[in-house]
Amino acid sequence: MLKRAIFDKKNVLVTGGAGFIGSHLCDELVKTCKVICLDNFSSGDERNIDHLLADPNFEFVRHDITEPIDLESLPELAKFKIEFQGIQEVYHLACPTSPKDFEANRIQTLMANSYGIKNALDLALKYEAKFMYFSSSVVYGPRREEDKKEKIKESDLGQVDISSKRSSYDEGKRFGEAMVLNFRDVYGLDAKIIRLFRLYGPREALNHGNMVPDFISAALDNRDLVVLGDENFSSSFCYVQDAVDAAVKMMETEGAGPINIGSDVDVNIIDMANRIIAMLGSRSKITYADKMLFLTPLCLPDISKAREELGWMPVVTLEKGLEKTIDDLRASKGLLGVRQAL
């Protein structure tokens, strides 16, 4: 195995690093590592990483991971001495995730879950880096009516419809896992799979069909909270920082996964909406609209494997997580108002 000198800190690559989850991961990693954030803003946002751009241990590269990239040829990465130190860890998150734009992004989603993961895996192979693939609970298929409250284990083979209009994402994530598993077996790559369930928190995109930020934004303005579906919709909600902590823990272990990361507490969406209205003292009412293709009830995770192998469980309560998300949205709406006034 090729040994490379690590000059002071590990070099870490995060694809999709300007996205909702990726930007929080960059925040955590830059505390101890030198972070290369790669994104093409297909669903990420430059505002998510603005606060990191002045950090000498952080560098943003605008690039579509479905196209190959030579990191050593980029002058902005010269400070990372990649030709000598290489890359020690690759976190692959790049994939369009906007519920509102899901149908328009179906081909880009397929490309991200095929060419994108192949290019990310090739970089990990080149530098003999640890690799983590951020998969999704969608590999299990939709929540099954006959066992709505049953918590799903990693050993469940899932029920995904290849002919569904969701298949670019659902089957794409399954294919991505197959890529990782085969690269691990054939090339001996230290590759890991983390399966995320529904997350929420600061920086989740507004007006894209993401329930929690859209509810909070509407409640702040005393507008109606629009439920996409009916009063029976329920889901689990895990605060984003809890999921980031799990990913960092897993990268440090010998475990390869797949491993479920999320909350195992089922929350009715009407209860969530009413809780947000009450927390803000809002005059908003709840209304209903047609559901979106990308927003379907998901299985609840069995997280016993994460507890046993990582010593992990979600620690941020829904009340505290909503408070943090409200504070962030209140600040961002204020900043948006200032920018519009200018």
- When mean pLDDT is compared across 166-170, 198-202, 258-262, 316-320, the lowest value belongs to 166-170
> Does 288 reside within a domain?
no
Percent of the chain with pLDDT over 70: 90
pLDDT at 334: 62
**Which pLDDT score is estimated for 199?**
94
CA 272 vs CA 41, 110, 196, 267, 318: distances in Å:
29, 32, 20, 7, 9
Summarize the confidence of residues 121-140 as an average pLDDT: 94
CA distance 164 to 146: 21
The continuous run of DSSP H or E covering 192 comes out as strand 191-196
Domain limits at 73? Answer: 11-201+237-263+297-315
46 in a domain, yes or no?
yes
pLDDT at 7: 65
Band of pLDDT at residue 42, cut at 50, 70 and 90:
confident
The rounded percent of the chain whose pLDDT value lies above 90 is 63
In this structure, is residue 245 part of a structural domain?
yes
The answer to whether residue 274 scores a pLDDT higher than 70 is yes
| Inside any domain, residue 280 | no
At residue 193's C-alpha, the angle toward residues 189 and 195, to 5°, is 175
Average pLDDT over residues 68-84: 94
- Residue 1 pLDDT exceeds 60: no
* 24 domain residue, yes or no: yes
- Position 39 pLDDT exceeds 80: yes
- Pairing mode of beta strands 259-261, 225-228: unpaired
Q: What is the DSSP string of 8-26?
A: SS-EEEEETTTSHHHHHHH
Its pTM stands at 0.90
Residue 291 has pLDDT above 80, yes or no: no
For residue 139, pLDDT beyond 50: yes
Q: What is the pLDDT of residue 292?
A: 67
CATH number of 87's domain: 3.40.50.720
- Determine contact, residues 302/260, Cβ cutoff 8 Å: yes
**Mean pLDDT score across all residues of the chain:** 88
Does 142 reside within a domain?
Answer: yes
Rounded CA-CA distance 339/342 in Å is 5
Among this protein's residues, is 91 annotated catalytic? Answer: no
The pLDDT of residue 71: 95
Report whether 326 contacts 319 (CB < 8 A): no
Q: Residue 97's pLDDT is what?
A: 77
Sign of the Cα torsion 192, 167, 21, 198 reads: negative
**pLDDT, average across residues 15-35:** 95
Q: Which residue has the higher pLDDT, 324 or 145?
A: 324
| Residue 142, CA distances (Å) to 148, 157, 166, 232, 235 in order | 10, 13, 11, 15, 11
pLDDT at 339 over 60: no
Cα within 13 Å of Cα(199), Cβ side: 28
25 falls within a domain: yes
Total structural domains in the chain? 1
Residue 53 has pLDDT above 60, yes or no: yes
Residue range 227-236, pLDDT digits in tens: 877 777 888 8
- Which among 137, 142, 333 has a CA at the least distance from the CA of 221? 333
**Mean pLDDT computed over 158-170:** 80
pLDDT classification of 205: cutoffs 50, 70, 90: confident
Whole-number pLDDT of residue 337: 46
Checking if the pLDDT of 338 tops 50, the result is no
Catalytically annotated residue among 91, 127, 133, 169: 169
And the tokens for 215? 């509810």
Q: What is the pLDDT of residue 116?
A: 94
Q: Is residue 323 part of a domain?
A: no
Q: pLDDT per residue over 278-289, tens digit each?
A: 999 999 999 888
